[in-house]
Every structure is written in structure tokens, then in C-alpha cells.
Chains A and B, each alone.
Chain A
Amino acid sequence: MNEIPGLFNYWVVVFLMMAGFYVVISQGNLVKKLVGLGLFQASVFILYITMGNLSGGQAPIVTEGVFIYSNPLPHVLILTAIVVGVATTAVGLALIVRIHEAYGSVEEDEIHALDMADDDTRLQEGAEREESSE
């Protein structure tokens, strides 16, 4: 049973990842979808940070009397990934603002219904055009 406390971080990663993924899929509200996406990405950050850690390792700053250091590379990598995540969230939120301006809603099913209504009017116009050409 040593595995569960030893792998605690990885269990957290898996839980967060699945929770975030589930929210992205199941929620119809675009903002909530983005929150789920953020959670999903955050789980990967923890995965990387955990893999760089050594048991008993110190922060990777050279000091006397310390012989075990954590691997700094995954931490640096994940800084980049965090920046990417922030950028993604920003672009996503900007899109949501524009969607709200254009549709007056951020609910997926309402937007879909509005699009369907658009399609119907367009098809009608097309049919009228074809009639006039005959």
C-alpha cells in the first residue's frame, strides 16, 4: 500500500485532468468550458512539476552541503506551458466576449438554435432565388 501516498501527486493529476476534461465535454456554457480547459491544463503542470522532483532534493541552487537537487528543467518547461495556458484562456475569453456581442448568449444550445434559424432563412432566400430564375 506504499503506492498510494508515494504517488499522491499523480492521483491528484489524474483526478484534476478527468474533472477538467469532463467539464469541457459536459458543460454547455462557454465560460464553464473554458474553466474546465484551464483545470485540464493545470493538471499537466502538476504532472511536470512532480516529475522533476527528487525525494529529499533541494531547490536547484548550488549551496554547500547539499548534494541532491531537483531537476529544474521540467519546472522551466512548465513555465512556458503556463504562459501558453494563460494565452489560450485570454484568447478564449476574448472570443466569448465577441460571441456574447454577436449572439447575446454564451450558452451553446442557444447559439446553435440561432444558427439553425439563420440557416432556415438562408435556405428560403436561396429557394426564392431559384424560383425567380426559372
Chain B
Amino acid sequence: MSLLDHLPILVVIIPLMSAPLCVLVDRSGAAWGVALAAAWLSFGAAIALALTVATSGTLTYQLGGWPPPWGIEYRIDTLASYVLLIVTAMAALVMLFAKQSVPREIPEQSIARFYACLMLAFAGLAGIVATGDAFNVFVFLEISSLASYALISMGRDRRALNAAFQYLVMGTIGATFILIGIGFLYMMTGTLNMLDLAARLPEVSDTRTVRAGFAFLTVGIGLKLAMFPLHLWLPNAYAYAPSAVTAFLAATATKVAVYVMLRFMLDVFGADFSLGDMPLNLILMALGLVGIIMASLVAVFQDDVKRMFAYSSVAQIGYMLLGIGLASATGVGAAILHIFNHALMKGALFLALGAVAYRIGAVTLGDFAGLGKRMPWTMAAIAIGGLSLIGVPPTAGFVSKWYLVLGTLEQGLWPIAVLILIGSLLALVYVWRLIEAAYFGAVAADAPEVREAPASMLVPIWILVAANIYFGINTDISVGAAMQAATMLMGNGG
């Protein structure tokens, strides 16, 4: 077997192994080097995987050579390779950014362990995507969650501790619900392999056990992906975590949870059961819409900019749920596309906020007064990221909203299309508050001297900004892969 055959496991194992290495070297610079190398190697492996999957179809990998359903199987199909690419790319870019941001926010003696936690969270997220085994999903979910609790608690504000504890309680309840759901499925089918589950579930899908398992899984995953009204942990966790952590988690963690939702609901249970026999489509559509409107409204009234964008994340997750709820290939495709585009825009925005925090030390709206002149490159990045968030062409955000609106109009649901537009208008309001302060606000008389962010921060930010524009104009790659994945998902269920 050549190294190429091991790609599916390498994406996960490289960051996993780098975590103890970070602790062993125990020096901040060296730990950063290890983590950077691991993130980029993993990114390289994900690119190779995506290319292989694009040419030769779904890849499977048997852990330890045990054939499924006895052994654990890793399956990389179009959707998995797509999400893996997002997760690894974000990790690679955040690691570039972290070099100067992290020493400013984390005490010197904890930096090595900080990187170890970051790598563990990354390995867990990559593992969730790569695995084809239901119980393995739970284990990786907990690896990434436990690491994220620790990461969030390292924020400078003491409220980070409380936010991390709240997240721990809600996250553990969510994960335990998922565990119960998987247990019920195992009870009825005697297998944990997702393909096997998908094959055996239709025979027994008319039982109360399977339905209860379905309900537990929905609520559990809903907690993990911050589905409204289960989103309460998210705003504080994102607002008080260190900048690099917020950028990484906002761009990847909830996206991976949406992936788990897609995987379980559409692949394991099948679209017919989840979105037809069970009223999940109505629930997702209703909660998605309420989430979009409510979270955007709350975001308008936030003075802490990090918190504002955290609420905006809850709203954006609403768009993804709405897309899944439409239960059509276009809708699911739009949801998958939005996973990708939202990672680009929120990655850019939270990294840019990190650069502002690096220079100023805080990110309340008052701190942004006159920042357009003092940090022109960073503010331009925030402005373009904000436009993408609103969904202005030619940015990536426009493309996914376009497909979402198309999906609603396909089914004649024009009131929902109107609500989507209202959500975008609300996004315009909160982004505008920030732009107004930065470009039209007067600099406070006693404001300290502020310079532009260092180049090592601007480079990853502008790579993401450029990607926002590139994928807004040239949509072949992102839309093509998303639609192909959506067709596969909807096709499996019939």
C-alpha cells in the first residue's frame, strides 16, 4: 500500500499525533511550528483526497484492515471531501494568523498546551467528517468538544470561564442525546456502520424505537450546531474565546455539526424517512426562519462586535437548516454551499476582528470609531466580509442565498423567499452600524496611536477575502461540488 491509500486516515491522524508533540516540545515557538506543519500537511492530504474523490469516486478505508461492519470504516465521498477541505483550509489559515495573535492573548507558559488543544479540536472535527461509523462520530465529537471547552476557557475575560462551562453542560447534553440515539439504532439493527444502518433501517423504520432514536439524534445534533432555540451557548462562547479560537470554531465547528445532520438525516435515515415520514422538514424550516430573524434582530443591538457576529452565525445556521428543510436537491445544495461560503466569510471576519483586538485590545463598537483610516486594510477586509454576509454580488454570500431563494421559489414558497430577504436586510443593518463607526465616526481625542495589523495577520485575512470574491464570481468549483453532493444525498433516499 502506498502512502496515498492512507490519505483518509492521515487527515485525522496528523493533527491528532501533533497534539502530544506540542505538549512534549513545550516551547511556544516550537509548538506553533509543529501545529502549523500538521495543519498544512493535513490540508495537503485533504486536497489530494478531494482530487481523488473527484476523479475516482467514493474512497473507503478500513482501520486496521478489519472489513466493515466488524471494523471501523472511513468513507470519503463528495460531501465529506468538500467539508474536509473547508476544515483543513481554515485550520491552516488560522495557524498562520495565530503566530502573532496567540502570544498576545495567552500566557507564555500555556501556549504549547493551547496549540495541543487546538490540534485536538481540529483532529476531532476532521475525524467526524472522515468516519463512516456512527459510534466513531460520537467519540470524535467529544474529542473536539472537550478540546473546545478548554480553548474557550483560555480567553482573557473571566467570563470566558463561565461561557466555557455553559458550553460544556449544553454540549455534553447534546452529545449524550446523540449517544442515546445511536444506541436505539444499534438496538434495532445490530450495526454501527452507516452504510449498513442505511440498508437495514427501512425494514424497522416503523417502530417507536427508531423514531425515538431519530428524535434524540435530531435534538442532540441541534444542540451541537446551535439550532435556534438551542443556540444559547454559542454567543458567549464565541465572544469570550481567544481570537484565533473564535475564528477557527466559527468557521468549522458548527459547519461540521451541520454535516453530521446531513449525514444522519439524509444518508442514514434517508430523505424519505426524515423529511417525509417524520416532519423534520417543517421543523427545520420553521426553526431556521425563526433563527434567521430573531438572531439577526439580536445582533443589531449588540455593542460587542464579536458577539454581534456570533449572533449572526446563529442566523446563518438558520439559512443552512432552511435549505435542508426545503427537502429538494437545490435546497440541500444551497445548504452545503452555504457551509462553504459561511466558513469563508466568518473566517475572514473573525480573523479581522482578531487583528483589531491585537492592535486595540477590545472590539466594542466604540473602539471602531475612525478605524477605517487607521487600519485601512483590516477594515476593508471587514467591509468585504460584511458585504458577503449580507449577500451582495459579486461575493460568495450572494451565490448561496441565490440558490436558497431559487430553492424556495421552485416550490412556490415565495413568503419564505421574502423572509430570507428580510434576514439579509437585518444583516445590512448590523454590518452598517460597524461600517458607519469605522468610516464616518470621529476618532476619540484621547485614543491611543493605532497602526495597521502586521503582515502575518493580513495575509490569511486577505486570502479569505479574496476567496470570498473569487467564489462569488467563479462558482464552478464550489457550486458544482455542492450540487453533486446534494444530488447524491437526496438520491440515496430515493
B176: chain A residues within 8 A (beta carbon): 40-41, 44
B169: chain A residues within 8 A (beta carbon): 24, 33, 37, 92
Q: Residue of B at shortest CB range from A98?
A: B161
B369 near A91: Cβ-Cβ < 8 Å = no
A95 at interface by CB-CB < 8 Å: yes
Nearest Cβ on chain A to B107's Cβ, whole angstroms? 13
A115 near B183: Cβ-Cβ < 8 Å = no
A51 near B164: Cβ-Cβ < 8 Å = no
A44: chain B residues within 8 A (beta carbon): 176, 179-180, 183
A18 at interface by CB-CB < 8 Å: no
Known contacts A37-B173, A40-B176, A98-B153; is-contact A103 B158 (Cβ 8 Å): yes
A126 at interface by CB-CB < 8 Å: yes
A47: chain B residues within 8 A (beta carbon): 180, 183
Known contacts A47-B183, A87-B146, A133-B443; is-contact A24 B366 (Cβ 8 Å): no
Q: Residue of A at shortest CB range from B145?
A: A88
B54 at interface by CB-CB < 8 Å: no
Q: Mark B233-260, 1 if CB is under 8 A from A, else 0.
A: 0000000000000000000000000000
A81 near B179: Cβ-Cβ < 8 Å = yes
Picked from B164, B180, B444, the residue with its CB within 8 Å of the CB of A133 is B444
Q: Mark B150-172, 1 if CB is under 8 A from A, else 0.
A: 10010000110110110011001
Picked from B139, B165, B179, B445, the residue with its CB within 8 Å of the CB of A132 is B445
Q: Mark A68-103, 1 if CB is under 8 A from B, else 0.
A: 000000100100110010011001100110110011
B432 at interface by CB-CB < 8 Å: no
B439 at interface by CB-CB < 8 Å: no
Nearest Cβ on chain B to A133's Cβ, whole angstroms? 4
B445 near A95: Cβ-Cβ < 8 Å = no
Measured CA separation A95–B158 after assembly (Å): 11
Q: How large is the interface on B (under 10, 10 to 19, 20 to 34, 35 or more residues)?
A: 35 or more
B158 near A92: Cβ-Cβ < 8 Å = no
Picked from B146, B442, B443, B445, the residue with its CB within 8 Å of the CB of A88 is B146
B180 near A30: Cβ-Cβ < 8 Å = no
Measured CA separation A102–B165 after assembly (Å): 13
A64 at interface by CB-CB < 8 Å: no
Picked from A21, A41, A102, A133, the residue with its CB within 8 Å of the CB of B161 is A102
Known contacts A37-B173, A98-B161, A126-B364; is-contact A92 B445 (Cβ 8 Å): no
B172 near A115: Cβ-Cβ < 8 Å = no
Q: Mark B169-188, 1 if CB is under 8 A from A, else 0.
A: 10011011001100100110
Q: Residue of B at shortest CB range from A17?
A: B180
B158: chain A residues within 8 A (beta carbon): 102-103
A111 at interface by CB-CB < 8 Å: yes
B172 near A51: Cβ-Cβ < 8 Å = no
Picked from B159, B168, B183, the residue with its CB within 8 Å of the CB of A51 is B183
Picked from B173, B366, B444, the residue with its CB within 8 Å of the CB of A40 is B173
Known contacts A37-B169, A103-B158; is-contact A132 B446 (Cβ 8 Å): yes
B142 near A84: Cβ-Cβ < 8 Å = yes
Picked from B135, B168, B173, the residue with its CB within 8 Å of the CB of A95 is B168
- Beyond the given A37-B173, A92-B165, A118-B159, could you list 9 further A-B residue pairs with CB under 8 A, ordered by the A residue number? A41-B172, A74-B186, A84-B142, A88-B168, A98-B153, A111-B162, A126-B303, A132-B444, A133-B443
Closest A-B pairs by Cβ, 7 of them: A133-B444, A102-B158, A84-B142, A99-B161, A95-B165, A126-B366, A98-B161
A-B residue pairs in contact (CB < 8 Å), sample of 20: A24-B173, A44-B179, A47-B180, A74-B183, A84-B175, A88-B142, A88-B146, A88-B168, A92-B169, A95-B149, A95-B168, A99-B162, A103-B162, A122-B364, A130-B444, A132-B446, A133-B369, A133-B443, A133-B444, A133-B447
